[in-house]
Homo-oligomer: A and B are copies of this chain.
């Protein structure tokens, strides 16, 4: 039953939220006003420890309509997280911990970075997957160490975005009953009434996905109904729940129910009358009534008990199940097992030629046995991406007969964007998850929205991006990446490995697994590549290195992936013409850029013209080279070997351009492109 204190608490949350927007004179007051009651009920019911926001068995809250973040910041303050009213006063100001959209890197208690619509709910689905997988892996009949829920708020915008359709369909299939989502059905989007573009029947759609749908007709004030909906959702087994909250945007404001209250501060008069309606002093700012402060202070203490109780359970668990207990402890400590790399494949030039996607399969196999936190899947290209370990179990609801929740292979369906967002959610769950997703490199673009959030949030997720060039052959230009590597390399905090052979493929995975703070795309070939003579995992872990060294080179060819071996053949050919050519393999720009300058200059020194060779857009390669050989047009459908010949990515084609480069630079002073004036 709703008590007076609940009403006061809701008013306080509303007040803190609109005051933030008012202080900043920027932001979104509408959704917080409408959603405060639901937020209050949900957070009351959630188990978490504000003093240890990363406690593994916490319930998680995701604000998919991230623009409503004033609401979440208010809750974090009231619930005793490391955020104060003074931070709220800095809302949307430079270098504050209360940015315009919630960022998990900046603010404790923010589970995932949201704002770009559709991402948060999809992250929440990823979190739910991780929780199910973690629980199924470690829970025992007699001791359960994982039973948390994930709660997500989302708005109409999130529901319109295709990424949420992809992930919601999968969530229904996967029967994720640990997920409770709340649709803020306020019938207003930026263009006005949702009638202008969004008239579908959302509840019926979600039922078609296999969700449980509950309606709360008056979520502006009916806290009991919201609490009952949450209770019903928790009782529902085998289905995620969507709770439809019928709300009024900007509830209580003079502009309530209009688009005007969505994304602009309230007028002073409006603020006054709102505060009056709550029984607050009209001129008050960031007001927290004493009884509300007391109420939340008590909650802060109570909430810490959840982890304390769990810690006892986990202690028993470790005693009774020492092997699993140690493994869980290791994962919670964020440590990889010692010697996890020992079994990773190594090659010599006598080993047979293989596609890097096939080599990647070997690495995945090796890691799979060592790291229980290594899970992944493919966007319906398993047989092409070679992402599934033979004999492994699919992550599936047991009732399907196709696997179980302890399974480590996820069948994503043809849903690249959804996969990307789910991968972020799995990483955000914690427990040291390293999760990967397979698709063609070209279709990582479909997931751009999620990919940039991986980088911004620093999620250590891995894209197994096969068929990485025109080398995919017959599927043609619709499937052949040209701009994709430029796109990905230009994203800050993003590693993009394009290994040239087996040893470099191993390096790519080591780099991707050992990082805690950035995502990695591994671009892999469809076609076979030889194992190179001087290739080295250790060197490839520097991002770039001289793989074919000659004394006093007349030219350096810098290349990546499938073009490295052709470039080495070109160098041998050039030798016959009296031209000394070294070849640099540059599997990852991001990693190379982090090396000491002296090392970088040793690879790309002064005095030698440098030509890049990569069978896609040359855009960006002038950073490391004076001349660029690439493909600044779309590809072609045909046999890979025919296409390579057609575009002259052959030893002859490369040698010809190298020789022109040498001639052009003859007699000119050549400075390394690595020099910078500032």
In angstroms, Cα B227 to Cα A473, docked, is: 38
* Measured CA separation A673–B623 after assembly (Å): 11
| Contact residues in B for A158 (Cβ distance below 8 Å) | 414
Which of B199, B483, B677 meets A627, CB within 8 Å?
B677
**Beta-carbon contact of A478 and B411 below 8 Å:** no
Asked if B103 and A478 make an inter-chain contact with CB atoms under 8 angstroms apart, the answer reads yes
Contact residues in B for A204 (Cβ distance below 8 Å): 204-205, 207-208
CB pair A396–B199 under 8 Å, yes or no, is: no
Is A418's beta carbon under 8 Å from chain B?
A: yes
Least Cβ–Cβ distance between A316 and chain B, in angstroms:
37
Q: CA of A91 to CA of B632 in the docked complex: distance in angstroms?
A: 25
Task: Decide yes or no whether A244 CB sits under 8 A from chain B.
Answer: no
B487 close to A492 (CB less than 8 A): no
The reply to whether A208 and B201 contact each other, CB–CB distance below 8 Å, is yes
Looking at A234-242, A534-542, A636-644, the stretch in contact with chain B turns out to be A636-644
Within 8 A of B (CB), among A168-207: 169-170, 172-173, 189-191, 195-202, 204-205, 207
The complex places the Cα of A205 from the Cα of B114 at a distance, in Å, of 27
Q: How far is A643 from B96 in the complex, measured between Cα atoms in Å? A: 12
Tell me if A432 is interfacial: C-beta within 8 Å of chain B: no
Instruction: Tell me if B622 and A673 are in contact (CB < 8 A).
Output: yes
Determine the interface band of chain A, counting residues with CB < 8 A from chain B.
35 or more
Task: Say yes or no: A94-B445 contact (C-beta < 8 A), given A195-B400, A482-B492.
Answer: no
Which residues of the partner chain B approach A643 to less than 8 Å between Cβ atoms?
A: 94
Q: A478-B101, A627-B677 are in contact. Are A162 and B415 (CB under 8 A)?
A: yes
Q: Is the CB of B92 within 8 A of A474?
A: yes
The answer to the question of A490 belonging to the interface, with a C-beta cut-off of 8 Å to chain B, is yes
Chain B contacts for A449, CB-based, 8 A: 443, 445-446
Is A676 engaged at the interface, CB distance under 8 Å to the other chain? yes
Complex CA–CA separation, A95 to B645 (angstroms): 13
Cross-chain contact B402 with A160 (CB below 8 angstroms): no
Interface pair B157/A380, CB less than 8 Å apart: yes
Query: B197 near A380 (CB under 8 angstroms)?
Result: yes
Is A94 a contact of B486 with CB atoms below 8 Å?
Answer: no
Question: A471 within 8 Å of B by Cβ?
Answer: no
Chain A contacts with B in 452-499, Cβ cutoff 8 A: 452-453, 455-456, 473-479, 482-483, 486-487, 489-493
Chain B residues whose CB sits within 8 angstroms of the CB of A94 once the complex forms: 636-639, 642-643, 646
Q: Copies per complex?
A: 2
Given contacts A487-B486, A633-B492, contact A160 B156 (CB under 8 A): no
Looking at the complex, which one of B160, B165, B665, B676 makes contact with A380 (CB distance below 8 Å)? Answer: B160
Q: Which residues of B contact A346 (CB under 8 A)?
A: none
Interface assignment of A109: CB less than 8 Å from any CB of chain B: no
Residue among A92, A202, A445 with the highest chain B CB neighbour number at 10 A: A445
A311 contacts B by Cβ under 8 Å: no
Known: A191-B378, A479-B115. A657 touches B678 (CB 8 A): yes
Question: In the complex, A632→B416 CA distance in Å?
Answer: 26
Q: Is the CB of A453 within 8 A of B478?
A: yes
Alpha-carbon gap, A209 to B162, bound state (A): 13
Q: Indicate whether A429 reaches chain B with its CB closer than 8 angstroms.
A: no
Interface stretch, picked from A130-138, A272-280, A355-363, A381-389, is A381-389
Give the complex CA separation of A335 and B103 in angstroms.
50
Contact with B along A202-229 (1 / 0, CB 8 A): 1011011110000000000000000000
Q: Is A671 an interface residue (CB 8 A)?
A: yes
Q: Is A166 an interface residue (CB 8 A)?
A: yes
Q: How far is the CA of A145 from the CA of B293 in the complex (A)?
A: 71
Does A24 lie at the interface of the complex (its beta carbon under 8 Å from any beta carbon of B)? Answer: yes
- Contacts A200-B169, A453-B478, A634-B493; is A414 near B208 (CB within 8 Å)? no
Give the residue name and chain of the B residue nearest to A174 (CB). B197
Q: Tell me which residues across on chain B come within 8 A of A629, comparing CB atoms.
A: 678
| A552 lies within 8 A of chain B by Cβ | no
Known contacts A197-B413, A456-B634, A445 near B448 by CB under 8 Å: yes
Chain B residues, CB < 8 A from A442: 116
**Identity of the chain B residue whose Cβ is nearest the Cβ of A669 in the assembled complex:** B669
Task: Provide the residues of chain B in CB contact with A199, threshold 8 Å.
Answer: 172-173, 210
Q: A173-B200, A204-B207, A478-B453 are in contact. Are A418 and B162 (CB under 8 A)?
A: yes
Docked complex: A614-660 residues within 8 A CB-CB of B: 617, 619-620, 622-623, 626-627, 629, 632-634, 636-639, 642-643, 646, 656-657, 660
Kindly report which residue of chain B lies nearest to residue A455, judged by CB atoms: B634
CB contacts (< 8 Å) of A396 on chain B: these are 196
Q: Is A565 an interface residue (CB 8 A)?
A: no
> Closest CB-CB distance, A588 to chain B, in whole Å?
14
Q: Which of A99, A611, A646, A673 has the most CB of B within 10 A?
A: A99
Instruction: Give the docked Cα–Cα distance between A657 and B678 (Å).
Output: 6
Q: Which B residues lie within 8 Å of A197 (CB)?
A: 170, 173, 380, 411-413, 415
A167 CB, nearest partner CB in chain B, Å: 9
Of listed A117, A172, A380, residue having the most chain B CB within 10 A? A380
Alpha-carbon distance between A225 and B445 when the two chains are bound, in angstroms: 40
In the complex, residue of chain B having the shortest beta-carbon distance to the beta carbon of A93: B638
Q: Min CB distance, A610 to chain B, in Å?
A: 11
Q: Determine the chain B residues whose CB is within 8 A of the CB of A505 once the complex forms.
A: none
B-side contacts of A609, CB under 8 Å: 677
A412: chain B residues within 8 A (beta carbon)? 197
User: Does the CB pair A414–B160 fall under 8 Å?
Assistant: yes
Q: How far is the CA of A657 from the CA of B384 in the complex (A)?
A: 48
Q: Which chain B residue lies CB-closest to A401?
A: B195
- Distance (whole angstroms) from the CB of A111 to the closest CB of chain B: 15
Q: A94-B639, A414-B161 are in contact. Are A482 and B491 (CB under 8 A)?
A: yes
Distance in Å from the Cβ of A121 to the closest Cβ of chain B?
Answer: 12
16 contacts between A and B (CB under 8 A): A94-B638, A95-B646, A158-B414, A170-B197, A195-B400, A196-B394, A446-B449, A456-B478, A483-B487, A483-B490, A490-B619, A619-B619, A629-B678, A660-B677, A661-B678, A664-B678
- Taking A446-B448, A489-B619 as known contacts, 20 extra A-B pairs with beta carbons closer than 8 A to each other, sorted by chain A number, are A92-B474, A92-B476, A92-B637, A93-B638, A101-B478, A116-B479, A160-B166, A161-B166, A161-B446, A162-B163, A162-B415, A191-B411, A443-B449, A453-B478, A456-B634, A492-B617, A493-B633, A619-B619, A622-B673, A661-B678
> Which 4 residue pairs of A and B lie closest in terms of their CB atoms, listed nearest first?
A162-B162, A94-B638, A99-B637, A165-B165
